Every structure is written in structure tokens, then in C-alpha cells.
Structure 1
Amino acid sequence: MALTPIPFTAEDFRARMRRAALDASAEGLDGMLVTPGPDLLWLTGYQPTAITERLTLLVLGTDADPRLLVPELERPDAESAVGSEVVTISDWRDGDDPYEVAGRLLDPTASYAVSDSTWAMHLLGLQRLLDGAQFYSVTERLPMLRAVKDENELARMAAAGAAADAVFGEIVKTRFSGRKETDVAADLARLLREFGHEQVDFTVVGSGPNGANPHHEAGDRTILTGDMVVLDFGGLMYGYGSDTSRTVCVGEPTSQMREVHDIVRAAQQAAFEAVRPGVECQEIDRTARRVITEAGYGERFIHRTGHGIGMTTHEPPYMVAGEERPTVPGMCFSIEPGIYIPGSFGVRIEDIVTVTADGGKRFNNTDRGLVIVE
């Protein structure tokens, strides 16, 4: 948490754009079109102050240097954030047709991967102008664009994970019984900021039967003695995500609660031990699911085992059946098996993990046992 992040350099951004263009070419594409969102920020370091209806477009290809088209009024900010040594910047003025201006930078018969954050109005505008071009989702054709993190990114991820761990260490000292889920969620949000997060993305507090809904929004339910409580929280720190889940019990748990928690803990540990370079993503899911199924709760594990994480909380790769992509060092993803008993309770245990040269490393290291709270 004491990390002072090393700023990304112009060469970092140039290298990322070169790699993206080459990856697109290797996929049989002519280039990549990127609008404001995590891809643009990762590739250039530029994020418009306000993402509006005005078109901002980064054009990447192997046949030309990177080009960035921005609204005229935003050009000073773009030049300050990116710099002419990284991309060639041009602009369009209010009253112009931005798609016509963009068309001068594009091949009307080319095939492009388009960032998933692109507004439909912008993609449709480009399609009308370039009716001979083909457009594909970046996630569909270039899903590994941001998946493998460098050392600088991994350091930020580790710091975010440590900060989330510190939050859990504090929240279990507070009182749960007699308070609303929203009260505990507010504490989680406050603690995330206190421990260095610049952005809080989610604070799931699922008590009692609400814990059986994996994406339950904290509500007005009063937490009672005897409740299991699923805590799932995270956000951005130094621009990179945290995401961890632990399940606590308010007072003494029942024998079934202990049993289910032990099964989920064993599944999470087995899946972590399966992480190593070259293992298919789906095998990590299969490993966790096998433990839960053999224990008789297979039908109560109702989601994938994990998701990639980086500048966004959910991104490729996904630990799910059918994902045959092999893991490689630098990939970061969650391992979060769960069991959900409708009308009663749920249990989920989640760590963020990165693939190393010979296995896996956790970014979350708080107690995975069943913690008893007041």
C-alpha cells in the first residue's frame, strides 16, 4: 500500500500500440479503432475529462503511425496527456461531420477491431460512411489485449489487493448484528478510500438469505445474529482493480454453514493450486467445480469460477467452461467459487491471482477460514 507507482512512459504507450497493431494483423485485421474507455487509457494514457457524444477516435494499424482524432475543444488536453511523440493528433470542429473527418484516416474496405466501449452512434456513423469496411468487437477478436500485465501493472495490482485486505481486517472488527446491510457497505466504501482507493466500484453485503444472490445489492435488511454475510468489495487504486470476497458469520454458525464454508474454501484452494502457465482457463473452473460437485452442491455453484481484472473489474480471460485459452505469466484473474442455498445463505471466497513462471501468486491474503463477527 506504500507503493509510489512508477508513471507509465511514452515508450510504454508506443510499445502497447505497436503490439496492439501487430496482434490485430495476426488476427487478419487491418487495424483497431479505439474510443474513450479503458482501452484508450491503456494504449495512450489519455482519458477525456468527460466522455460525451463528440467523437474521439484512435486509429491503429501496421501501415501507418498511430493517429488520434479529437474534438477541437479537447485538443489541448489530448496533446498534454498524450504528446505528439506518441501519436499524430488531428481534430474536428463542432459543425463538422466527425465521421467524414474520421473517414480520411480510414480505409473504406478494411477490417477493424473496435473497442467495446464505443458508443453505438459512433459505430453506426462509421458504418454508414464506410459501407465496405468490416467491424468486430475487440473482446471477440483481441480478447488478450490488456490481459498480460507488466511489472509496473502487477505492482499496482498487488497494492490494490493489499489495500482491500486491510479493509477486510478493519471491517471484521465492527459490529454487524442490528445494523443494515447498507451501513456495512458504507463502512466498506469509506475504508477502501481510506486505504488508498481513488474509486469504489462495488460493496456487496449479502446477509442471510440475501447471500444466496451472488450480485445482491446492499439493502435495508437488518443483519441478525446467526446470519452468514457475504462481503464482496473493490475498486481502483493507482488505476488498477481490487476485488475480494469473504464470508463471515454473525455469532455461532450452524453445522451446515460450517460444512458449506469448508467446501468452498477447499474448492478455492484447489483452483489456486491448479494455476500454472499453460493450463487452460477452463481447467481452473473445472477444478473448483469438481470439489463442490463431489460434495453434493454442484447445482448450487451457479457462476463461473473467475474473471480477468486490471483497469476494469471484469475483463478477459474468464475461468469458465469452454475457455480453452492457456494461462500465461502476468495474467490476473479472480478465483471465486461459491455455494448458494436459496432462502437461507450463501458462501463465496475470492482472491485475485496472477500467473507466475511456475504457478500462481495471490494478491489477497486475509483469513479464508470462517471468521466470526459480532
Structure 2
Amino acid sequence: MELYSTDRLAAARRAAADAGLDALLIGPSADLRYLTAYDAHALERLTLLVLPADGDATLIVPRLERPAAEAAVGDAVRLVDHEDGTDPYAIVQDLLGDRAKTVGLGDRLWAEQVLALRDALPDARQALAGAVLRGLRLRKSPAEVEALRRAGRAIDAVHERMGQWLRPGRTEAEVAADIAAGIREAGHATVEFTIVAAGPNGASPHHGVSDRVIAAGEPVVVDIGGKMPDGYCSDSTRTYCIGEPPADFAAYYAVLHEAQRAAVAAVRPGVSAESVDAAARDLIAAAGYGAQFLHRTGHGIGLDGHEDPYIVAGNAAPLEPGMAFSVEPGIYLAGRHGARIEDIVVCTDDGVERLNTIDTELVIL
């Protein structure tokens, strides 16, 4: 199965035309990599895909970046480079002229580039391209699902090594450094994040790491993820305890475990995203911890670590086969400890597949 295909460019052209856009202008981002396979650096020098709704794609790159762009896109996209000291926005003007009345700008373009494009195309109305590309990226192809499976297996392998690194007397930062090395050893190209949150730090969902020494008897939330060489992301959270857990922690971890399993089981085509959130949230609230569940139940994942669909109250959109997202409820007791369980799942034709397959029970080290 081919992961990157020129079919994506054709689909993007059709979607742009259907949305009333004359062209898409996409800078360095997951959107650019999705359309061209090029993982471009975000620089002050302009890199921009110009994709007319009725014409061929052109990728504008700085001259010094041309070899990397050529290696990624091959002959699928025409390349035009610009030298330092020249005006790359004039190239955009030459490509589109006054034919473009409405252009869709990549959601991740820098403000200075957006304003320069406004000057280069003064008669063109600007809109966000994300509204068009979101629909293409929302449902993963079989090749993309397989890429996410590989990412899931790779990050699972890191969690399976946690007993080597997580022990009393070490700091969160020391453990995180070992985890980062393990993420790369498991096949990731980059480490995107390593959250190691022990004791009271576990009550902060995005704590990160610190020089705090991990003590015996403490719960530790470990949320880790990376990006594979093909660009697709991993993300998985497990909660560990160094020795026997505190009684109050064990009690609410059992609630959390049930809630996470219920939310995964609720995933199937046609149900709303918010109903999956409710499957976890209602159980946690009924146990008296509703106020301690501080965030949505999940986020989409693919070439971005966070993308549509979002599994949150208020999102009534129905799930469809190919949608991939996290299911990660948490309970956080400020000043004491916290817990989160996270799997990446994909909605299938008749239900759900967990892409993280290791156990979700509390791991006592």
C-alpha cells in the first residue's frame, strides 16, 4: 500500500473547487507533507505549495532547500526555487496572477507570510485551507492505518521497558532521558514529548518533567510519543506505581480503568464523537470525580499529534471508518497525584481497533 500518492493532490484540487477556492497555498506543515511527502523546515525563507483548483501544483522552495525537496517529491510536483535576496512572492503572483479571486491559506502559515501573500495577490480574498484539507485527512486510508499501527507497536515497546528506568531515587528528568533514547531505539525518527509526572506532579496533565526525585509508593503518569520516519505519530499514556499504591489512588484508578475501557467500546461508525467522551465522563462523574477529569477524552492523530476528530462534548459529528484518535480519560487530585490511560484507536467498518495493545491495568514496579 502506497502511503503518499499524487491522488492526494487531485483530491485536494477537487475539494478546493467544491469549496469555491481558486487555489490552495500551503506552507511547511503536516498538510504540506500529506500532499507532497515533503517534510519542510519552517523558515523565514518562503516554502509554499501553490495548488490551483484547475491546474498543476508548483512547490516554491529556497534554492538551498531544493535537493531535499526534490528527494521528497520526485517528479510529482514542479519545483521552482528562489535565491536569497529575491522576492519569492513575485513567483506566486506570476503563477496565479489575477485568476485567483479566493485562495485558501495553510492554517500554519506565519503571519508575515500571510500578509506578504495579501500584498502579492491584493484582489484575492483569503480563507483557511484547513476547512478543505481537514475532510481529506480525517479518514485514514488503509496505508495510513497501517502506519499508525507501526507507530503504536513502537511506543508500546517503550512502555514495556519502563521497569528498566522508573525506580525510586531517580529524577523525572533522568527517567525521561532514558525514555527519549528508548523512543528512538524503537524506530521513531523524532521524540515529540516525554511526560514523567510523579506524585503531585501527576495531577498536572501536561506537567512535562522536573528534577523532582521519584519516591517509593508514588504513582507516576508517563505520557510519551514520537514521530515515525514516515511522519505518522505515536501517543500513549500509562500510569505506574513505585510499590503498593495509596488506597485512595487505587480506588479511583479502578474507576478510570473502567471508564477508559467503556469509551473504547463505545467507538463504532455512526456514533457521535461526544458520545464517546460521555461514555468515559459519565462513569467518572458518577463515582464523584467529574470535577477532576480536566480535559476532553481524545484527539485525532496522524501526521499531526493533535488533529480532527476531537472527542469532546459539543462535537456531534458522527464517527466514520478510518477515523483515528486517542481515548485518554484522566483523574487528577491537585496536590496529591493523578492518573491517565491512553490508547490510540481507529474506527473500523463495524467497531473499533486498539492500536496500542499493551495492558491498561495499573503497573506496579
Q: TM-score category by the smaller chain? A: over 0.9
Unmatched runs of 5 consecutive residues or more in structure 1: 1-5
Q: 2:57 aligns with which of 63, 66, 76?
A: 66
Q: Quote how far apart the aligned CAs of 1:21 are.
A: 1.8
1:31 alignment partner in structure 2? 23
Counterpart of 1:363 in structure 2 is 355
CA distance in 2, matches of 1:118, 1:144: 19
SS of residue in 1 equivalent to 2:221: strand
1:288-314 deviation digits (Å, cap 9, x = unpaired): 111111111111111111111111211
**Residue 306 (structure 2) aligned to one of 314, 318, 342:** 314
CA contact (8 A) 2:92 2:120 kept: no
| From 160, 169, 172, the counterpart of 1:169 | 160
Deviations 1:173-223 (A, max 9, x none): 444211111111112111111211111111101111000000001101111
The C-alpha deviation readout for 1:60-100, integer Å capped at 9, x for no partner, is 2331122222233433443343233x223223333322212
For the residues of structure 2 that align with 1:371 and 1:252, how far apart are their CA atoms?
10
Say which is worse superposed, 225-234 or 34-43, in terms of deviation.
34-43
User: Which residue of the partner structure matches residue 120 of structure 1?
Assistant: 111
Of the three residues 65, 69, 86, the one matched with 1:96 is 86
Q: Which moved more, 1:157-166 or 1:52-61?
A: 52-61
Q: CA RMSD in A?
A: 1.8
Cα drift, residue 341 of structure 1: 0.4
1:3 equivalent in structure 2: none
Residues 107 and 133 in structure 1, CA contact (< 8 A), matched pair in contact too: no
Aligned match of 2:270: 278
Give the partner amino acid of 1:320: V
Q: CA separation in 2, counterparts of 1:343 and 1:34?
A: 44
Contact 1:178 1:222 in 2 (8 A): yes
Within 2, Cα distance between the matches of 1:249 and 1:320?
Answer: 29
Any residues of structure 2 matched to 1:284-299 within 5 Å, and which? 284-299=276-291
Classify 1:18/1:202 alpha carbon distance in 2 versus 1 (closer, same or farther; 3 Å): same
Match of 2:208 among 217, 222, 237: 217
Counterpart of 1:51? 42
**In structure 2, the residue corresponding to 1:340 is in which secondary structure?**
strand
Q: Does the 8 Å CA contact 1:268/1:288 hold for their aligned counterparts?
A: yes
What per-residue deviation string (whole Å, max 9, x for no partner) do you get for residues 16-70 of structure 1? 011112222223322311112221112111234x432111211223311222222
| TM-score of the two chains, using structure 2 as the length reference | 0.94
Match of 1:94, as an amino acid?
D
Q: 1:251, 1:146 → 2: CA distance? A: 43
Tell me the residue number matched to 1:207.
Answer: 198
- 1:260 and 2:252 correspond: yes
Relative to structure 1, is the Cα distance of residues 252 and 25 closer, same or farther in structure 2, using a 3 angstrom cutoff?
A: same
Provide the residue aligned with 2:13 in structure 1. Answer: 21
CA contact (8 A) 1:34 1:40 kept: yes
1:107 to partner: Cα distance? 5.3
Number of equivalenced pairs: 363
User: What letter corresponds to residue 61 of structure 1 in structure 2?
Assistant: P
Contact between 2:24 and 2:53, CA under 8 Å: does it hold in 1?
no
Could you tell me whether the CA contact under 8 Å between 1:165 and 1:366 is conserved in 2? yes
Residue 32 of structure 2 corresponds to residue 40 of structure 1: yes
Structure 2 unaligned residues grouped into runs of 5+: none
Match of residue 348, structure 1, among 340, 345, 354: 340
How far apart, CA to CA, are the structure 2 residues paired with 1:319 and 1:279?
Answer: 11
SS class of match (1:172): helix
Report the Cα offset of residue 141 of structure 1: 4.9
Instruction: State the TM-score, normalized to the length of structure 1.
Output: 0.92
Q: Residue 195 of structure 2: SS of its match in structure 1?
A: strand
Greater alpha carbon shift after TM alignment, 271-280 vs 51-60: 51-60
Could you say what secondary structure the match of 2:158 adopts? Answer: helix
AA of the residue aligned to 1:47: D
Aligned to 1:334: 326
Corresponding residue number in structure 2 for 1:148: 139
Moved over 4 A (4+): none
